[in-house]
Amino acid sequence: MNSKQKVAVIGGGSWATAIVKMLCENLDEVGWYMRSSYIIEHIRRNKHNPNYLSSAYFDPEQLRFAEDINEIIDYADYLIFAVPSAFLQGELDKITTSLQDKVIFSAIKGIVPESGLIVGEHFHDIMKVPFENIGVITGPCHAEEVAMERLSYLTVACQDEGKARVLAKKLSCRYIKTKISDDIIGTEYAAMLKNIYAIAAGIAHGLGYGDNFQAVLMSNSIREMKRFIKKVHKMKRNINNSAYLGDLLVTGYSVFSRNRMFGNMIGKGYTVKSAMIEMSMVAEGYYATKSAFKIKEKNGAKTPIIDTIYRILYEHKDPKQEFLKLTDILN
């Protein structure tokens, strides 16, 4: 695989900014698509993203910016999508150029609302990208810690091991360690599900539950995740690996977790709408909950935690009463 492959990131948020920072450690030039000309000019002048991870500084000479998604697609061989799943189709609708021979990696942790599919399946089924050209980047890794250059770990999954290795090498640096996997579907579902369990952890905290209960909740969450993923994509995998359990733990416990923050607000009595306005950020787990509930209904997985969060967020049930019922189910 050609080490000179050009790489571009699509998205302007915290995770996109963190990925660009990693790539800049190894590449002379990184493509970066974002919609805002103001943000692009700000980065060119002040060397940082004013809205996300403002402590992460860039050399503008390394960055090839584009406001047109088609321009960045024509430029790059490897495209890393890092936009919220709720807005992905809006960006894909702008594409008029060909995705043929492009390698697509998703750093998106959620379900595409328009199709009800995880991102890799959406690119394959809707955008007709072959599975061997689709990959996933997953944690455990918070963008904020990348900005602070704290040691972090990534799992890069792709059906084509060579393509996974190419991107893993481009992301690796003194504060990023990478490993590869062939479990594209499983790691992407895990990345989606852990956001739901982080909302559960946040609600529990908001309701006043302590560390002892949180430990039980996380223990049950990883077992529930295993049951769910086994139903939708059965293959040999170790659910205790970092891409599954590790990503769940960091999202469930970290102060940087938007989904935990969102859940904490729900537990304290905020409505869904008021919590989202207060956060001014997207909590992927909110959208993932509805999709996961539909998928589990179709596949018959036993998911009491997902069911509980669904009832709270979409049926407007009382969090306190729902968690009282949940405590009798967990073990």
- List, for residues 220-276, the tens digit of each pLDDT value: 999 999 999 999 878 888 888 888 898 899 889 888 888 999 999 999 999 988 998
CA 188 from chain centre, in angstroms, equals: 8
**What integer pLDDT is reported at residue 168 of this predicted model?**
97
Compute the average pLDDT of residues 52-64. 94
The alpha helices in the chain, defined as continuous H runs, are 14-24, 37-46, 69-75, 85-92, 119-125, 143-147, 161-171, 184-207, 211-232, 247-253, 258-267, 272-279, 284-299, 304-314, 319-327
Cα(188)–Cα(325) distance, rounded to whole angstroms? 30
SS3 111: strand
Query: Using an 8 Å Cβ cutoff, are 213 and 288 in contact?
Result: no
Structure pTM? Answer: 0.88
* CA–CA separation, 98 and 74 (whole Å): 8
CA dist 218 and 310 (Å) reads 17
Res 283: pLDDT: 79
DSSP code per residue over 42-96: HHHHHSB-SSS-TT-B--GGGEEEESSHHHHHHH-SEEEE-S-HHHHHHHHTT--
Q: Determine contact, residues 168/181, Cβ cutoff 8 Å.
A: no
Amino acid code (one letter) for 324 = L
Closest CA to 25 of 175, 143, 178, 179: 175
Average pLDDT over residues 8-34: 96
Eight-class DSSP state of 36: -
- Is the separation of the CB atoms in 91 and 10 below 8 Å? yes
Q: What percent of the chain has pLDDT over 90?
A: 75
Buried b / exposed e along 299-318 (16+ C-beta atoms within 10 A) = eebebebbbbbbbbbeeeee
Q: Sorting pLDDT into bands at 50, 70 and 90, what band is 185? A: confident
> pLDDT at position 269, please?
95
Beta strands 152-158 and 176-181 are parallel
Rounded Cα distance between 251 and 222, Å, is 12
pLDDT for the residue 237: 85
Identified catalytic residue from 109, 163, 170, 194: 194
Q: Please tell me the distance from the alpha carbon of residue 70 to that of residue 93, in angstroms, as a whole number.
A: 11
Exposure b/e, 268-294, CB count within 10 A at least 16 = b: eebebeebbeeeeebbbbbbbbbbbbe
Judge contact between 259 and 284, C-beta under 8 A.
yes
Structure confidence by residue, pLDDT tens digits, 119-172: 999 999 999 999 999 999 998 888 899 999 999 999 999 999 999 999 999 999
What's the confidence (pLDDT) of residue 1? Answer: 42
For the cut 80, the answer to whether the pLDDT of residue 217 exceeds it is: yes
- The domains of the chain are located at 7-182, 186-327
Domain 7-182 has CATH 3.30.360.10: no
Q: In angstroms, rounded to a whole number, what is the distance separating the alpha carbons of residues 287 and 289?
A: 5
Q: What is the pLDDT of residue 3?
A: 52
230 is catalytic: no
**Structural contact between residues 22 and 153, judged by C-beta atoms closer than 8 angstroms:** no
The separation between CA 259 and the C-alpha centre of its own chain, rounded to angstroms, equals: 11
**Is residue 223 a contact partner of residue 319, using CB atoms and an 8 Å limit?**
no
CATH fold, domain 186-327, is: N-(1-d-carboxylethyl)-l-norvaline Dehydrogenase; domain 2 (1.10.1040)
